[in-house]
Amino acid sequence: MATPVSAPAARQANMMAALKEAAFAALITFGLCIPIIAWGTRQNLDNVLVLDPRWDTVAWAVAIVFVGRFLMALRQQKKGEGRTIVRILPHGTFARLQGHSRLFSLVGLGFLITFPIIAITLAGWGGALKWIDNFGVQILIYVMLGWGLNIVVGLAGLLDLGYVAFYAVGAYSYALLAKNFGLSFWILLPMAGILAAFWGMLLGFPVLRLRGDYLAIVTLAFGEIIRLVLVNWVDFSGGYAGISGIPRPTFFGIPFTAADNGFAAVFGLEFSPLYRTIFLYYVILCLALLTAFVTLRLRRLPVGRAWEALREDEIACRSLGINTTNTKLTAFSLGAMFGGFAGSFFAARQGFISPESFVFMESAVILAIVVLGGMGSLWGCAIAATAMIGGTELLRELEWLKVIFGADFDPTKYRMLIFGFAMVVIMIWKPRGLISTREPTAFIKEKKAISADLVQEGHG
Amino acid sequence: MTTAPLLKVEHLTMRFGGLTAVNDLSFEARKGDITALIGPNGAGKTTVFNCITGFYKPTEGMITLTQDNGDSYLLERMPDFRISWKAKVARTFQNIRLFGGMTVLENLLIAQHNPLMIASGFTFLGVLGIGGYKAREQQAIDKAAFWLEKINLLDRADDPAADLPYGDQRRLEIARAMCTDPVLLCLDEPAAGLNPRESHDLNTLLLSIRKEMGTALLLIEHDMSVVMEISDHVVVLDYGTKIADGTPAQVKADPKVIAAYLGVDDEEVEKVEAEVGLQ
């Protein structure tokens, strides 16, 4: 038996331990800051290197790490015994919210459908464009991409680092076919999806024998190969210059122009660029809802169950008569198909695409959405996409911060810093993502959510 | 013995590089019989199972499975998932391989993947909600409920499989394998880690599977109470070679088997050593 320690003494010891840990973390931060932050470098007129000391910034960084680490250490000490000191939401909030997921879905759907009207009411005709385009359409594209990748990573457990390749295939399919053959958006949308699915299958065949890290590396490579082909095959794709003047989608044949046969004139409205944006918003909303609908349906079909079983245990799947190669390929190509849909929409919306839009960073952001949201959860993906894409867009709105930090403060520059910080916070707070329970696909008596601790992440 | 052999293993050899795990093994498993495959650790029993169920491709030999309707399959030429689906050979694993994050019911539904896949029109009709998938799924759930009733787990159907106690997990794995409607069920150490009571229940379950479903069983087992009590036919392996083959009583009395399990007398060792000139 250990000698009994009085409560104040134990608390003091805990405090000392936490302080020690925090001091250590602060020391490491200090060490890392010296080469990176401590001196700003610039050239003067004589091309001589000038070092601007920035010790105040270093002090800030060290202080933030010290306090953060101290609070975290206290929180960890309390683990399992009583309440934690630092808690953002009361215990079980998410579980309680998930109990009403049907209600939330209806409210969310209602909000999404009425969003353009709300935006116009609140921001007026002039201001609504930004909200619908930068927030509505942009976020929904990423929600859709997240849901598409969720099939591959979240359900089937195949770590795909090159998802943006299929986004690119969809975008270039639309751009090239629309420009060269004059086909309409509504014909090309399914075609782009099918082409992307075809590429998904083509890339999938050789890759799916690999598992885990190896699969991740090869999919990463495939993503880069597609991008590099687009960069270097100038005759085909225009190289770095990209493709411009891509035909914009029409309202079932009626273009959104100021001309006499344009949308506004036909319907007797005053011309405004907003109509096109609202139309695009509803198109991407329908596409995203289609993705969600198909995913929810498939989860209850044998193929969806087989995906999840594959994520749990591949060998057991094989012993039960499941063709694992085909099952993985369907996941891969279906995910790719939704990527292709999103890509063709992206091309139609932008009117201009170049390989710059399909860099690895995009894959990373989409994967981050899936991982932060909680693998396999549609709600989680939607929340994560809103936070990440909406959050970075919101940074542009924070002009008032200039009052505090000075005139040359640009909040958008801190995007990556906040992104990384969010990742770290989620990793500490919710290591399995925001929504970390799995919903069963069939039940006899009652549907109970399954804790993520029991669910496997997949090995390949 | 009037029934035709269900499973016929002929001259099965499996080499891993220089190591011969199974050496020229031949045996038969008859329809309706419980055949036990026993032997000391490392004798190659699991390797034989992996060859039969397609997880390994044997180096040499032929494995023939003949079904009731006369269809016969050469298992060594089939990929693993087809062995389960077409030849109807199911298996369990030495270290339990359940889908832990899925419910008990879902585990049993995944075992019915192929018939459900056909019922859902290979997903295409199922997504659109056309065809009789809903009714077929209900049948599958009923079948799962039947098996859950049989292994006394109906109450826990909606719990995650990983939450079950060890003994229940073992039985669930057997039920899951049975949901594929096998003609031959291969059990890799089903009684490992069970207490005497649980292993008695297991015996009852296995006997009722044979009686009610007519499924032949092939089992690897170390627990002799299970082997001797329920098996009709025992094959003994040692260092990948068959050393005995017969009824439990015959095998129990076989001096080679006793030597393999318990070793031999010191005198005998000395005698042999003297013969080969070690002393």
The CATH number of whichever domain residue B201 belongs to comes to: 3.40.50.300
User: What pLDDT, on the 0 to 100 scale, is given for residue B84?
Assistant: 84
Task: Classify residue B2 by burial, with Cβ atoms within 10 Å: 0-12, 13-18, 19+.
Answer: exposed
* CA–CA separation, B25 and A381 (whole Å): 54
A251 CA: distance to closest CA in chain B (Å): 26
One domain for residues B197 and B61:
yes
Residue B253 belongs to a domain: yes
One domain for residues B210 and B192:
yes
Region A289-318: mean pLDDT is 90
Residue B94 belongs to a domain: no
Q: Do A322 and B160 touch (CB under 8 A)?
A: no
* Of B59 and A82, the one with more pLDDT: B59
* Of B267 and A342, the one with more pLDDT: A342
User: What pLDDT, on the 0 to 100 scale, is given for residue B252?
Assistant: 83
Q: Do B113 and A315 touch (CB under 8 A)?
A: no
Residue A156: its chain B contacts at CB < 8 A?
A: none
One domain for residues B250 and B261:
yes
Of B102, B157, B177, the CB nearest to A312: B102
Q: Do B80 and A316 touch (CB under 8 A)?
A: no
Residue B269 belongs to a domain: yes
Decide if A179 contacts A246 (C-beta within 8 A): yes
Whether A310 has its CB under 8 Å from any CB of chain B: the answer is no
Task: Classify residue A430 by burial, with Cβ atoms within 10 Å: 0-12, 13-18, 19+.
Answer: middle
Whether B146 has its CB under 8 Å from any CB of chain A: the answer is no
Q: Is the pLDDT of residue B157 over 90?
A: no
Decide if A271 contacts A265 (C-beta within 8 A): yes
Final residue of a structural domain among B180, B208, B241: B180
Which residues, 6 or more positions from B14, have their beta carbon under 8 angstroms from its beta carbon? B20, B21, B22, B44, B47, B48, B51, B56, B58, B59, B240
Residue B95 belongs to a domain: no
Q: Do B102 and A444 touch (CB under 8 A)?
A: no
Final residue of a structural domain among B165, B180, B195: B180
Mean pLDDT rounded to a whole number for chain A: 84
What SS3 class is residue B200? helix
Whether A322 has its CB under 8 Å from any CB of chain B: the answer is yes
Q: Could you tell me whether strands B233-238 and B241-246 are parallel, antiparallel, or unpaired per DSSP bridges?
A: antiparallel
Residue B93 belongs to a domain: no
User: What pLDDT, on the 0 to 100 scale, is given for residue A95?
Assistant: 64
Query: Cβ–Cβ contacts within 10 Å for residue A410, how many?
Result: 12
* Of B126 and A177, the one with more pLDDT: A177
Q: Is the pLDDT of residue A341 over 90?
A: yes
User: What pLDDT, on the 0 to 100 scale, is given for residue B227?
Assistant: 84
One domain for residues B119 and B10:
no
Residues A34-54, buried b or exposed e (16+ Cβ, 10 A)?
Answer: eeebbeeeeeeeeeeeeeeee
Q: Do A456 and B93 touch (CB under 8 A)?
A: no
Residue from B50, B85, B88, B102 whose CB has the most chain A CBs within 10 Å, to mutate: B102
Report the C-alpha dihedral over residues A227, A228, A230, A233, rounded to 10 degrees: -170
Distance of CA B104 to the CA centre of its chain: 21
* CA–CA separation, B157 and B214 (whole Å): 26
Query: Cβ–Cβ contacts within 10 Å for residue B16, how many?
Result: 10
* Percentage above 70 pLDDT, chain A: 93
One domain for residues B279 and B186:
yes
Final residue of a structural domain among B180, B215, B232: B180
Of A294, A324, A450, the CB nearest to B101: A450
User: What pLDDT, on the 0 to 100 scale, is given for residue A89?
Assistant: 61
Separation of first and last alpha carbons in chain A: 47
One domain for residues B170 and B203:
no
- What DSSP assignment string belongs to A256-294? -SSSTTSHHHHTT----THHHHHHHHHHHHHHHHHHHHH
Distance of CA A51 to the CA centre of its chain: 38
Region A430-442: mean pLDDT is 80
- Beta strand segments in A163-220, E: none
* Of A448 and A324, the one with more pLDDT: A324
Of B98, B102, B120, the CB nearest to A302: B120
Residue from A151, A295, A301 whose CB has the most chain B CBs within 10 Å, to mutate: A301
User: What pLDDT, on the 0 to 100 scale, is given for residue A1?
Assistant: 42
One domain for residues B265 and B197:
yes
One domain for residues B193 and B158:
no
What SS3 class is residue A66? helix
* Percentage above 90 pLDDT, chain A: 26
One domain for residues B21 and B40:
yes
One domain for residues B187 and B267:
yes
Quote the domain boundaries for residue B147.
Answer: 100-180
Tally of domains within chain B: 2
Q: Is the pLDDT of residue A108 over 90?
A: no
One domain for residues B58 and B191:
yes
Q: Do A319 and B53 touch (CB under 8 A)?
A: yes
One domain for residues B82 and B133:
no
User: What pLDDT, on the 0 to 100 scale, is given for residue A92?
Assistant: 63
